[in-house]
């Protein structure tokens, strides 16, 4: 009961703070439209890069363009959702340095909700839109014999993937409480993670694939389930049921990230000047 | 000679300012190494599929990746160098103070950006590059001459990079807000500098155009000079010509802009 009310309170606080930022960004509508468009262009560059590569070759790591677009669309859409919900986590370090993090601690709302909603930016819809468009194109162009489990797996991947990336954001924020000035380490795992997943697992060394399957299980955002959907062998041997394990992995990641966040928060020492 | 010392002091001050953020620098080293790893594997897969793409062999493609990671912060490929501070000073009107200084505005900011670039190169660029050289086969020259030529192209690349960003920053005199310009800088920088793919692997006419734009002076030219893929003198002329043209354009825009500042300063 106590846990539940904390969760509800957190969601309420998140909604209120995010709403405030949305209203403030809507004050200058033209500027808002321009930034959404700019966001779409910036994130679209990755895919233009992939298209450029495919202007020179027919396959990469043995995967065709629609198959890679499938990976790309899943990775970017899932990451885009996590980025929309929690993407402001990287300002945490700055807030701790200037002391304004302390203000969040004394407010009567869960800190995670406040940090997550901080500078909530609707312009990040640009990335989600871009990812969804590529995913849509991939779904109609890819050569797959669609069955019910395969079709169902697509939305499951997007939701679980968003949850896994969210966990990475939260764990990164917890790490920032210790490291303070190292927001970019988080970028290596968030932006680096989504970039990695845009390419087929066959491209990378087996140790790297093992690392992102068992240690930091980003592979469950798309690689493992997508390999099943596309009927592609995964570079390392995995039991068949793991293709459907993404939601479980997502729940485990979120639980671990939540614990890391609590530990981080408890060990926080203010600048105290 | 006195003014030479002034700009050297500005550069040194800027170097020290960036050197203060040690944890951020280490974090940047880590991030560039991770991105280098991801990119190196995709390039190897690409060159596996099409050997000698863009005239590079695999070792050259690998060298290109790690050089890109080394120069990413050094040349502020996606922005975030001196132009960021300059935009802020224009927006707040503090630029009026800069104009009263007995120093040349453009040279002042160039000196600061050179100091920043030097720190980013030493603090953030060298380690990922060394990491790449240790763990992947790279195509590096063994004699002194190509390395010396490489240092010259790096200096010229720094000036070209600054000249582009200076022009962009001055636009804030008219736009009052740098957000859109920053986005344009980011897109053009990443794409046309060859961060995504070496410019000589860009296909057809598009590739021909991309290779003569000023952004080509930033990663493509230093890489080709280092790996002996191009005549160093030709590269110097190309870079210097763009540097002069863009700095001159910056001066013109600057004098037009500073005439406005009186109106804005009230």
Look at residues A169, A13, A9, A11 and name the one whose alpha carbon lies nearest to residue A104: A13
What percentage of residues in chain B have a pLDDT greater than 70? 97
Residues of B in contact with A208 (CB under 8 A): 37, 41
Secondary structure of residue B200 in the 3-state scheme = helix
Q: Which residues of A touch B24 (CB under 8 A)?
A: 181-184
pLDDT value of position A177: 85
pLDDT digits (tens, 9 = 90+) for B93-111: 888 888 888 889 999 999 9
Name the minimum distance, in Å, from the CA of A2 to any CA of chain B: 38
Q: How confident is the model at residue B266 (pLDDT cuts 50, 70, 90)?
A: very low
Q: Which residue has the higher pLDDT, A121 or B211?
A: B211
Give chain B's mean pLDDT.
93
Taking CA–CA distances from A182, the nearest residue in chain B reads B24
For chain A, give the mean pLDDT: 90
Nearest to B23 by CA among A93, A9, A254: A93
pLDDT of A2 reads 66
Query: B198 by DSSP, 3-state: which?
Result: coil
Encoding tokens for residue A63?
């995967």
Residues 6 or more apart whose Cβ sits within 8 Å of residue A184: B24, B27, B28, B30, B31
The DSSP bridge partners found for residue A63 are: A60
Do residues B221 and B253 make contact, with C-beta atoms less than 8 angstroms apart?
Answer: no
Nearest CB neighbour to A56, from listed B30, B34, B201? B201
The whole-angstrom separation of Cα A86 and Cα A173 is 10
Rounded to the nearest angstrom, the minimum Cα separation between A134 and chain B is 18
A12 sits in which H/E element: helix A2-26
Mean pLDDT of A23-28: 86
Q: For residues B40 and B67, is the Cβ–Cβ distance under 8 A?
A: no
Of B130-139, B240-249, B254-263, the range with the lowest mean pLDDT is B254-263
- Dump pLDDT digits (tens) for A148-161: 999 999 999 999 99
Residue pair A232/A217 in contact by the 8 Å Cβ criterion: no
Q: How many Cβ atoms are within 10 Å of A122's Cβ, its own excluded?
A: 16
Radius of gyration of chain B (CA): 19
Q: What is the pLDDT of residue A117?
A: 87
Strands (DSSP E) found in chain A: none
DSSP A110: -
Dist CA B19 CA B21 (whole Å): 6
A140/A134 Cα distance (integer angstroms) = 10
- Pair A70, A230: CB distance under 8 Å: yes
Residue (of B199, B221, B196) closest to B210 by Cα position: B199
The span from the CA of A76 to the CA of A86, in Å, is 15
Q: Which residue has the higher pLDDT, A116 or B245?
A: B245
3-state secondary structure (DSSP) of residue A4: helix
The listed range with the strongest mean pLDDT (A120-129, A179-188, B75-84) is: B75-84
- Give the residue-averaged pLDDT of A139-145: 95
Distance from the Cα of A10 to chain B's closest Cα (Å) equals: 31
Determine whether the interchain pair B34/A188 forms a contact, defined as Cβ–Cβ distance below 8 Å: yes
- pLDDT, mean of residues A231-249: 95
Tokens representing residue A212 in the block: 């992102």
Cβ separation of A203 and B186 shorter than 8 Å?
no
How far apart, in whole angstroms, are the C-alpha atoms of residue B117 and residue B71?
A: 9
Closest-CA residue of chain A to B24: A182
State mean pLDDT over A221-235: 95
Percent of chain A surpassing pLDDT 90: 60
Option in B26, B190, B202 nearest A182 (CB): B26
Asked if A48 and B30 come within 8 Å (Cβ–Cβ), the reply is no
Any idea what DSSP says for residue A198? T
Within 8 A of A57 by CB-CB distance, chain B residues are 46, 49-50
Question: With bands split at pLDDT 50, 70 and 90, how would you rate the model's confidence at B262?
Answer: low
Q: What is the pLDDT of residue A134?
A: 97
ipTM of the complex: 0.90
Q: Is the pLDDT of residue B184 over 50?
A: yes
**What long-range pairs does B262-265 form, CB within 8 A, spacing at least 24?**
B264/B93, B264/B173, B265/B93, B265/B96
Of A60, A187, A208, the CB nearest to B31: A187
What pLDDT, on a 0 to 100 scale, did the predictor assign at position B263? 53
Between A and B, how many residue pairs show a Cβ–Cβ distance under 8 A? 99
Please indicate if any CB of chain A lies within 8 Å of the CB of B99: no
- For helices A65-86 and A148-179, the axis angle rounded to 10 degrees is 50
Mutation site, A181, A198, A200, A208, interface B, largest B CB count within 10 A: A181
Residues B195, B189: Cα–Cα separation, whole Å: 8
**CA-to-CA separations, A193 to A196, A212, B27, B191, B240, in angstroms, rounded:** 5, 9, 16, 20, 38
- pLDDT tens by residue, B193-232: 999 999 999 999 999 999 999 999 999 999 999 999 999 9
Q: Once rounded to an integer, what is the mean pLDDT over residues A165-175? A: 93
Name residue, tokens 């990475």.
Answer: A168
Query: Which residues on A lie below 8 Å from B44 (Cβ)?
Result: 203
B197–A52 CB contact, under 8 Å = yes
Nearest residue, CB atoms, A56 vs list B31, B53, B196: B53
Among partner residues A56, A185, A196, which is closest to B27 by beta-carbon distance?
A185
Give the pLDDT confidence of B19-59 residue by residue, as tens digits.
998 888 999 999 999 999 999 999 999 999 999 999 999 99
Give the C-alpha separation, A92 to A176, whole Å: 7
Residue B82 has pLDDT above 60, yes or no: yes
Task: Considering only the beta carbons, identify the residue of A46, A179, A187 that sits closest to B23.
Answer: A179
d(CA A136, CA A141): 9
**What pLDDT, on the 0 to 100 scale, is given for residue A71?**
97
Nearest chain A residue to B196, by CA: A49
| Sign for the pseudo-dihedral over CA of A236, A240, A244, A250 | negative
- Best residue in A203, A208, A212, A219 to probe B by mutation, most B CBs within 10 Å? A203
- pLDDT above 90 for A91: no
Position with higher pLDDT, A94 vs A75: A75
* Burial group, residue A1, by CB count within 10 angstroms (0-12, 13-18, 19+): exposed
Out of A42, A192, A202, name the one closest to residue B38 (CB): A192
């Amino acid at each position: 009961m106590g846990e539940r009310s904390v969760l509800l309170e957190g969601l309420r606080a998140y909604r209120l703070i995010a709403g405030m930022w949305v209203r403030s960004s809507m004050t200058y509508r033209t500027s808002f439209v321009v930034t959404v468009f700019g966001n779409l262009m910036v994130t679209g560059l990755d895919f233009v890069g992939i298209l450029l590569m495919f202007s020179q070759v027919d396959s990469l790591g043995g995967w065709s363009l629609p198959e890679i677009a499938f990976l790309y669309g899943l990775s970017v859409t899932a990451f885009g959702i996590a980025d929309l919900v929690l993407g402001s986590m990287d300002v945490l370090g700055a807030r701790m340095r200037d002391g304004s993090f302390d203000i969040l601690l004394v407010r009567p709302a869960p800190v995670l909700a406040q940090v997550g909603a901080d500078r909530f930016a609707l312009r990040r819809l640009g990335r989600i839109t871009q990812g969804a468009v590529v995913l849509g194109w991939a779904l109609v162009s890819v050569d797959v014999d669609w069955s019910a489990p395969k079709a169902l797996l697509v939305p499951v991947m997007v939701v679980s993937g968003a949850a896994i990336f969210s966990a990475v954001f939260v764990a990164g924020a917890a790490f920032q409480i210790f490291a303070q000035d190292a927001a970019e380490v988080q970028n290596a795992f968030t932006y680096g993670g989504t970039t990695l997943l845009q390419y087929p697992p066959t491209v990378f060394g087996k140790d790297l694939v093992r690392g992102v399957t068992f240690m930091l299980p980003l592979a469950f955002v798309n690689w493992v389930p997508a390999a099943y959907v596309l009927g592609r062998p995964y570079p390392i041997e995995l039991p068949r049921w793991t293709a459907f394990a993404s939601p479980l992995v997502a729940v485990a990641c979120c639980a671990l990230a939540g614990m890391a966040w609590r530990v981080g928060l408890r060990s926080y020492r203010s600048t105290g000047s | 000679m006195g003014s030479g010392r002034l700009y050297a002091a500005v550069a040194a001050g800027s170097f020290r300012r960036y050197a203060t953020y040690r944890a951020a620098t280490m974090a940047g080293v880590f991030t560039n190494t991770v991105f280098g790893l991801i990119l190196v594997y995709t390039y190897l897969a690409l060159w596996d599929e099409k050997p000698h793409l863009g005239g590079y062999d695999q070792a050259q493609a690998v060298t290109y990746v790690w050089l890109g990671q080394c120069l990413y912060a050094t040349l502020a490929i996606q922005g975030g160098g001196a132009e960021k501070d300059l935009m802020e000073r224009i927006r707040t009107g503090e630029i009026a103070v800069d104009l009263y200084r007995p120093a040349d505005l453009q040279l002042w900011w160039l000196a600061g950006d050179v100091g920043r670039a030097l720190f980013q190169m030493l603090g953030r660029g060298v380690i990922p590059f060394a990491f790449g050289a240790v763990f992947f086969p790279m195509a590096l020259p063994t004699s002194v001459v190509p390395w010396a030529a490489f240092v010259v192209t790096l200096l010229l690349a720094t000036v070209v990079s600054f000249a582009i960003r200076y022009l962009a920053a001055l636009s804030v005199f008219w736009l009052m807000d740098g957000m859109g310009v920053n986005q344009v800088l980011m897109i053009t920088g990443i794409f046309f500098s060859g961060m995504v793919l070496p410019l000589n692997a860009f296909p057809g006419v598009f590739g021909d155009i991309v290779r003569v734009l000023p952004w080509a002076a930033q990663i493509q030219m230093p890489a080709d000079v280092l790996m002996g893929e191009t005549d160093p003198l030709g590269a110097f002329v190309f870079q210097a010509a763009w540097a002069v043209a863009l700095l001159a354009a910056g001066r013109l825009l600057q004098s037009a802009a500073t005439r406005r500042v009186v109106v804005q300063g009230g």
